[in-house]
Amino acid sequence: MHTPLAYLPSPSRGVWHLGPLPIRAYALCIILGIIVAVAVTDRRWRNRGGSPGTVGTLVTWAIPFGLVGARLYHVVTDPELYFKPGRDWVRVFYIWDGGLGIWGSIALGALGVWIACRRYGIAFPAFADAAAPGIAFAQAIGRWGNYFNQELYGKPTTMPWGLRIDGAHTASGLPGIYQPTFLYESLWDAGTAVFVLWADRRFRLGHGRAFLLYAATYTVGRGWIEYLRVDHANHILGLRLNDWTSMLVFLGAVIAFVVSARRSPGREVVVEGLRSGSTPPGVAAADSSGVPGGYAPGAVSNSAGEASSAVAVDVGPPGSAPPPGADGSEVER
């Protein structure tokens, strides 16, 4: 195969040193993605009626659970990389070398958040909806860590956007030009985030449906991008394992979306304070009216100037009937 006249270069290095301290681009991309995800989720959560500080509390549960899940998925699905004769099993803990499975990260990260939501009386489906676009943006940024590691590239190509991979990172030991699948997925993830933001604003998705839409949309892209990749992967019936995972997650997300829309149309009215005395650390305790910190977006005042007890009121479209609690009456929790 001839070398194309134009191609994308790979970075000459993916780690820098400040004295004895290594600064790895892979880790920086993940950290930046987390920061963006937290910022987007916090803004969306407050718009849904959540309290300042809630997202920060839940993130302290999501990150450790997510990192363990991401690495666990990778190791379980590719055990031969660490446990075959001649392999060093200690490298299971070298997460800076790559090998983080998004499926495990989302699954175990969601488990951590669910535990925290149960503990602090937070509506887990509502929080998942708030977090969905931020997660997709984080994935888009995190994929650039693969660029610096020169990994997860696709089949050889002569297209001008092909990615040059050094011989040290190819199976043949020779440099070549390959499909930049990391870039394809980064762009798809960013598009997924924008699509979910639009759909949520247009259709006011609730009860986990924004998150399910994210899951379904992401897996569509992951399926065809995975097909282009040539890095090591286990296969089942001729398809890469992650292709099967994508199909199963897509099917589950679509079914759950339809069921949720039929059983729980609209959005949640109350997103926090579902359990008495369960205020998350760093969040102002609820006053006698049940409103965290004595205030919530959408709360109304009575003639005495006192805030009503609604934590988050879905006012609905103009001209629609006011929801329970919008007139100052007690909202059933």
Instruction: Output the known binding site.
Output: 143
| CB-based contacts of 246, cutoff 8 Å, min separation 6 | 219, 220, 222, 223, 226
3-state class of 22 per DSSP?
strand
C-alpha closest to that of 47 among 280, 264, 314: 314
DSSP letter for 30, please.
H
Q: What's at 64, amino acid-wise?
A: P
- End-to-end C-alpha distance for the chain, whole angstroms: 66
Q: How many CA atoms lie within 13 A of 208 on its CB side?
A: 20
DSSP letter for 327, please.
T
Sequential DSSP letters for 63-90: HHHHHHHHHHHHHHH-THHHHSTT--GG
Compute the distance between CA of residue 137 and CA of residue 148 in angstroms, rounded to an integer: 18
Beta bridge partners of 177: 164
